[in-house]
Chains A and B, each alone.
Chain A
Amino acid sequence: MIALVLSLVLAQGYAPLRQGQDPLDSVREQRVQAVGKKLRCAVCQGVSIADSPASMARAQLDKVRELVAEGKNDQEIFDYFVERYGEWALMEPKKSGITLGLWLAPVLVLVLGVLLIISSTKKPAAPVAAATEEPADDYLAKVRADLEK
């Protein structure tokens, strides 16, 4: 069966569903690609529809093209997809609701880490007293010592 389909495909051509929309002018096409980057391909998981070669993603990118051609703005296009496929369709999680933690937690970790580091290191001491404590570069000092032998 697969072999039959295969020979058919090879003889005639392979075209994803609904493929064939020509790209828009370069300014709008750039927007299509940028918006596509932020929408998730439904069949490939983890890749955006702008990046995926899968036929489904190509069709969805054509839909974006259509919406851009209709003069919809980015937010309206995102809303269109979220309405149909849920928040799942957005590659970039929202900075509100349950996904807020994603954006805040790393900042919190950084702040705590910096506080921890500051508390575990010395306050910068007077440089004159400290400079004699250790040579500026112990390795170079070693090299010099080596050479003096």
Chain B
Amino acid sequence: MNLSNLGYGLVLLGLLCAAFAAIVGITTGMMRKESALPLVQKAIYGFAASMLGANLVMVYALLSHDFSVKYVAQVGSLSTPTIFTIVSLWSALEGSILFWGAIMGAYIFAFAWTYRKEHGRYMQLSLGVMAAVATFFAFLIAGPANPWTHIANPLADGPGPNPLLQNHVLMIIHPPMLYLGYVGMTIPFGIAAGALLRGELGDAWLVPLRKWTLVPWIFLSVGIILGSWWAYAVLGWGGYWAWDPVENASFMPWLTATAFMHSTMVLEKKKSLKLWTIALALASFILTIVGTFMTRSGVFNSVHSFTQSDIGPTFLVFIGVLLVFSTLLLAVRGHMLVAESQLGSIVSREGSILLNNLVFAAITFVVLLGTLYPLITEGLLHKKITVGEPYFNQMALPLSLATLFLMGVGPMLPWGVADPKVIQRQAIIPGAVGLLVAGVCFAFGFRGWMPLTVFGLSGFVVVVTLRELFLPAQQRMTEQKEKMFTAIFVSASRARRRFGGYVVHLGIVAIMVAVAASSAYKIHNTGTLKLGESMKIGEYSVRFDGLDRGKEPHREWIAAKLTLTSPGGEETVHHGSSAPRMNFYERSNDPIGSPSVTEMIVRDVYVSLLSYDVKANTASFNMWIFPMVGWIWYAIPLLVLGTLIALWPQRKQKPVPATAPVAEVVPGAP
């Protein structure tokens, strides 16, 4: 039996299991026959196992260079280093969808297993909906994007994976992170759709909904940031974010999921915004599918669309089905999710969260509109237009400032109705610190209303956030005489989500400051240097020490050796792998540059090689200094830490005494 047949067989098995779980789960769920649950669970486990198996077979085929498997013939090469051979599992369309299937299997398995004995009233429906999504992907792998086709007379070697993907170690982690974010949104979609199909949304079902949105959210966050880091470190144009359609595609579900995370607090506290929150969960998932469609169908050309094929129409149909299904569900079942209480005034915690949701919805709308507008004008009016970075920047800037402002104001406000005097008292210190920060920055020569507003607001937000984080601990220290660390630990573990959320806020503030500083105060220089010549970039100086060339199994490269002199006169030599290079891959005609990036806490010095002349011994460079840009990626640990704190499982509650009424069963829901 050859690997093609084995792999394809496993995919078919997965397809069968998923389809079975979907049909049985949804039908028995609708009929409320909870006895069928074990059957659905077993089918889910079967799907997960066969998808995992199929992926292992593909990895084995790649590692053993079995060029009779179509996908291996497409991306494999004897000269590719082993690590990139494994990575090539997701370096082209078919493989990435297969990998997608494995992640889907892992997620659904984890979800089904975690709650195998809980939430019986929703479980079949939710698992059924998730399995329906899984069925779609298994169908893609089995049909339109089949990587397993057997090649009767295979060649002895293949072309190797896309060179862009072999250029940097970040390419090994960035795509899986994004996939984990994208695929994971299937779970909250299933949970929300299950609740809608059932026609009720109890408090108990909210807990998994929240947690299982947070999991893909953090992967999406990390994936997006790593992607921007990769673009910055590899593409050589000195930027990290270009509002490219594919970047936008990953940003939109992040925005709606973030909005969800906030509106869910109003839902819990005020039993209001149910419909909106559920709609956000549905939208986050649909946007991931829209995003996948954008990346994979080739309607947009971008650096990321290295995996194009004709699966576009299949995806369009799926998106259509999802939209109709979700809209119908919301329309038919929506009235069952009515608010149980009135919201307070706009100057309150819930008011600020409503505004936060509006701002996030508006950013999502801007990104969606800007991304789709060129398609619409071209399709309907045959007029080609561009919606580029300047548009998105202008629209996103005021909205981002609004989120920053709300991040400071929201936590200060109480639920319900606020007492203006209390708010005034609370706002004095953070407000003063904010003004002070902006003033000090101005005194040190920083100009421009945008960065100064960001710095000032950030100071304000940081003070508010730190106060919220540590005030409870301080109370414990004074009243309980606890030591500082004990007090922080105990107060944090008493309110994990709150504590974790504020830690994440600090990370977001760091990112905003970094974006503002690096875009407002960057310094650029470009020019051609002869051997031994130097040029200035800000207070730094760069000397060209000659060309260097080398050969690796999968590429050849030319590097320009540099010596960087800091303002203090300290010299750093960039001769080896840290010199800016051009890499030549056999597969592509244009070279792929790797810039030389000297990362420091307060600034990066970024040099990229534009062209060179061996005879004249000259080289042309593009150089930048980016203040604080690294803080965008340094914020990742804060985001992860905050999320982990929020997700950390609460110790199981002590069993309820037998006399307490059992609250779970509420029969007769319409």
Contact = CB atoms under 8 A, between A and B. Distances in A.
Interface string A82-125: 00001111111100001101100110011001100110111111
Nearest to B346: A121
B302 A19 contact: no
A3 B586 contact: yes
Contacts of A2: 586-587, 589
Contacts of A135: 414
B99 to A, nearest CB: 26
A51 to B, nearest CB: 4
Contacts of A143: 472, 475-476, 491, 494
Given A10-B558, A45-B301, A131 B419 contact: yes
B526 interface: yes
A133 B369 contact: no
Q: Chain B binding site: helix, strand, loop or mixed by DSSP?
A: mixed
Interface stretch (B17-25, B197-205, B210-218, B609-617): B609-617
Interface in B369-408: 369-370, 373, 377, 381, 383-391, 394-395
A52 interface: yes
A23 B527 contact: yes
Contacts of A137: 414
B614 A117 contact: no
Contacts of A138: 414-415
A117 B355 contact: yes
A121 B419 contact: no
Nearest to B611: A15
Contacts of B616: 13
A27 interface: no
A121 B354 contact: yes
Interface residues of B, number: 90
Contact of A40 (B243, B388, B527, B558): B388
Contact of B365 (A10, A90, A106, A125): A106
A29 B384 CA distance: 30
Interface stretch (B174-182, B232-240, B598-606): B232-240
A67 interface: no
Contacts of B343: 120-122
B390 A91 contact: yes
Nearest to A51: B237
B351 interface: yes
B475 A6 contact: no
Interface string A19-39: 110110000010001000110
Contacts of B472: 139-140, 143
A16 B524 CA distance: 20
Nearest to A147: B479
A132 B236 CA distance: 59
Interface of B: 235-239, 242-245, 300-303, 342-348, 350-351, 354-355, 358, 361-362, 365-366, 369-370, 373, 377, 381, 383-391, 394-395, 414-422, 471-472, 475-476, 479-480, 491, 494-495, 498, 524-528, 549, 556, 558, 582, 584, 586-587, 589-591, 593, 608, 610-616, 620, 622
7 contacts: A19-B611, A91-B391, A98-B383, A99-B373, A130-B419, A131-B419, A134-B414
Given A53-B622, A130-B418, 5 more contacts: A46-B243, A102-B373, A117-B354, A121-B350, A127-B418
